[in-house]
Amino acid sequence: NAGVTQTPKFQVLKTGQSMTLQCAQDMNHEYMSWYRQDPGMGLRLIHYSVGAGITDQGEVPNGYNVSRSTTEDFPLRLLSAAPSQTSVYFCASSQNFLSDRGKETQYFGPGTRLLVL
Amino acid sequence: ILNVEQSPQSLHVQEGDSTNFTCSFPSSNFYALHWYRWETAKSPEALFVMTLNGDEKKKGRISATLNTKEGYSYLYIKGSQPEDSATYLCAFDSNYQLIWGAGTKLIIKP
C-alpha cells in the first residue's frame, strides 16, 4: 500500500492563480480531509468528506473547493490564490471516522508546501 | 470556540532524562483524545487514541494518561533518546472534526 499520497510536494503560485492539490489513498478509507498547518498553530481543518459524493466545510474553508467523485481521490482547489494561503497542506484519511466517533486513527500524506507570492 | 492547548511550546531535554507535557481540552462532550508524533520533514503518525477517563496507554518508553473530568492528558517519555526529538500533537474530537493543539516541540540534547 502506498498509503496517502499528495502531489505536488512544493508549489509556488502568483496571487490570483488557481491550482489543484492532489490527494489519493489506496486503503479504501471512507473519510478524507484537508488540513493546513501554519507556524505556531495547530492543524486546521479546511474541508472533509465522509464518502464519495459527500463533502463538508471545516474550520477554514474560504478560498478552497473540494470534490469527492471516487473513494480514492480528494483534490483541493485554490480558486484564486492569495498570500494568506501560503502554508503546508496535509491530506489525511481514516477508515470510517464517523462510525466510531473520533476514535479512528488518521493517516497523513507527506504534505504540500505552497508559497503564494 | 473550542480550544486545545498544549504546554510547553518547546522543551529541551538531556538525553537519558525523562519528561512530560500537557494537553488541555474542553471537558464537556468528550469522545476521544488523540496523540500524534510529528518528525521534521515527515507526516504526523498516531501514537495513542484515548477514550475513557483514567485511561493509560503505553508504547515502549512513551505513555499517556487521560483525565476527561478536568480536561487534560499527559504524555510521558522515559529515558529520552535522540530519536524522540519531534513535535507531539494532541487532538480532541468535537462534532465529527478533530481540533488540534499547536504541539510541543521536543529537542533531545546529547
Q: Per residue in A8-63, pLDDT tens? A: 999 999 999 999 999 999 999 999 999 999 988 889 999 999 899 999 999 899 99
Contact residues, chain A, for B93 at CB < 8 Å: 101-103
Residue contact B32–A97, C-beta within 8 A: no
For residue B31, give the nearest of A48, A59, A102 by CB distance.
A102
Confidence of residue B106 (pLDDT cuts 50, 70, 90): very high
Which residue in chain A has the smallest CA separation from B5?
A: A42
pLDDT at B95: 66
Contact residues, chain A, for B66 at CB < 8 Å: none
Q: Per residue in B58-88, pLDDT tens? A: 999 999 999 999 999 999 999 999 999 999 9
The answer to whether the beta carbons of residues A78 and A15 sit under 8 Å apart is no
Does A60 lie at the interface with B, CB-CB under 8 angstroms? no
CA dist., res. B79 & res. A34, Å (int)? 35
Q: Per residue in A87-97, pLDDT tens? A: 999 999 998 76
CA dist., res. B49 & res. B55, Å (int)? 10
Confidence of residue A104 (pLDDT cuts 50, 70, 90): confident
The answer to whether the beta carbons of residues A46 and A35 sit under 8 Å apart is yes
Q: Residue A43, CB half-sphere, CA atoms under 13 Å: how many? A: 26
The stretch B22-50 carries a mean pLDDT of 91
Whole-angstrom CA distances from A83 to A36, A114, A116, B12 are 14, 10, 5, 33
